[in-house]
A and B are shown apart, each in its own frame.
Chain A
Amino acid sequence: MDIKRRQFLKIAGLSTIAGIGAPAAFNLLLKGETSPVSYASSGGSAEASHDDAPAGVRLGMVIDQKVFDANIGLAQKCVTACHTVHNVPDFGKDNKKDAIKWIFEVPFEKAFTNKSHYHRNAHLHDSDFLVLCNHCDNPPCVRACPTKATFKRKDGIVAMDYHRCIGCRFCMAACPYGMRSFNWRDPRPFIDQTKHNKEFPTRMRGVVEKCNFCVDRLARGLQPACVEATGNTGAMVFGDLNDSHSKIRKVLDENFTIQRKPALGTQPSLFYII
């Protein structure tokens, strides 16, 4: 078998082209049949369209500031109830750097940064507003998390799996509401041993934490701790936003409500009656 140099180069060149081209052609033809490997689901897609009305259960909350204004100390009661139930450490008032907050009070201009604060009335000027995780329908924190430690559940709750959290704090940077806290130090020594909840774990140093809408309490048929703390004042209403017969929908239908930074398109599940 005699092969000329010129023939050899021709065959070699053609085989190279075929070798490079074939996988690309196969990928094009088989497109959409591969699935990314993942052992833990992150729930709903974070990149959901803004126009789609989400189907199924979507849990949300209405906070009635008028009731909180009429009942001084009620907001603090909610904060204490939440932080006791979830073993949130208390580093003291002076240590703001390490503070862990699931639900807390902020003035109007901090809660609603996109609203005009010019000549606002005394009510908006003086009252503090309860803020907590908005459990967005389009949560930026979920998109930012590289380990799927934070994820959106089917019922709309944006929850966290602290086992998976590597403490990169991308979610804290992504959250436009600042509702996430980082454990700069071991929280355990700062949890009140006389009051802590033995049914709920603590966190460890190096993980991010936030409000979980009391998933564990909801599973037992209870209301979230903060809602329970308000008693029957109606200061907080919790329920399914997609259920047209729910109490929360009735409250939303009857009142003018505002949301925090709605223009960002995160679609928060929290509403405020001002």
Chain B
Amino acid sequence: MYDGKLIIPGLLIFLVLMISPILFNGLDAGPVPKPEKPVGVTKCVKSAQYMRTSHMKVLDDWRDETLRDGDRTPVEIDGVKYEKSLMNGCLKCHTDKKKFCDECHVYTSVKPYCWDCHYVPKETF
């Protein structure tokens, strides 16, 4: 191999850099986020597991149903009606964006652009 003296140490340095996160942190993914649940409400529009994985799908579906099909019939769970809306539905229970939404979004490094247009409760912009 030509220039093996340079290539092999170079490859080793590259490898160490690539696995450095594992070397430093092991297999620890950091503290698991604990979004604050709303007080006094036990049920969401779907199961907690479904909401955890697919709340964005719910929001997209609601948007298309209300906006395009004009179907704004509220979602009824245990006799409680929830408006199909982020601002006027979800955020009525989940009043603290920082302690609920941001908790996971920051952890998973997701930057949804909901808040460019939708108001956060008690927001001053």
Q: How large is the interface on B (under 10, 10 to 19, 20 to 34, 35 or more residues)?
A: 10 to 19
Interface string of A138-166 (1 = CB under 8 A from B): 00000000000001011100010111000
In the complex, the chain B residue whose C-beta lies closest to that of A161 is B67
Q: Name the contact of B87 in the complex, choosing from A43, A201, A203, A204 (C-beta under 8 A).
A: A201
Stretch in B40-48, B101-109, B115-123 touching the partner:
B115-123
A155 to B67, CA, bound (A): 12
Q: Name the contact of A154 in the complex, choosing from B66, B70, B113 (C-beta under 8 A).
A: B70
A203 to B88, CA, bound (A): 17
Interface majority SS (helix, strand, loop, mixed), chain B:
loop
Set of chain B residues within 8 Å of A43, measured between Cβ atoms: 68
Task: Decide if B64 is an interface residue (CB 8 Å cutoff).
Answer: yes
A199 to B92, CA, bound (A): 11
B113 lies within 8 A of A161 (CB): no
Nearest CB of B to A125, in Å: 41
Q: Name the contact of B117 in the complex, choosing from A153, A198, A202, A215 (C-beta under 8 A).
A: A202
Task: Decide if B124 is an interface residue (CB 8 Å cutoff).
Answer: yes
Task: Decide if A232 is an interface residue (CB 8 Å cutoff).
Answer: no
A159 lies within 8 A of B67 (CB): yes
Set of chain A residues within 8 Å of B72, measured between Cβ atoms: 219
B64 lies within 8 A of A40 (CB): yes
Nearest CB of A to B54, in Å: 16
Interface string of B39-74 (1 = CB under 8 A from A): 000000000000000000000000110111110100
Task: Decide if B125 is an interface residue (CB 8 Å cutoff).
Answer: yes
Set of chain A residues within 8 Å of B69, measured between Cβ atoms: 41, 154
Set of chain A residues within 8 Å of B67, measured between Cβ atoms: 159, 161, 215
Set of chain A residues within 8 Å of B87, measured between Cβ atoms: 198-199, 201
A116 to B64, CA, bound (A): 44
Nearest CB of A to B96, in Å: 16
Indicate the member of A155, A191, A198 with the most B CB atoms within 10 Å.
Answer: A198
Nearest CB of A to B63, in Å: 7
**Chain A residues engaging chain B, CB cutoff 8 angstroms:** 39-41, 43, 151, 153-155, 159, 161-163, 188-189, 191, 193, 198-199, 201-204, 215, 219
**Chain B residues engaging chain A, CB cutoff 8 angstroms:** 63-64, 66-70, 72, 87-88, 113, 116-119, 124-125
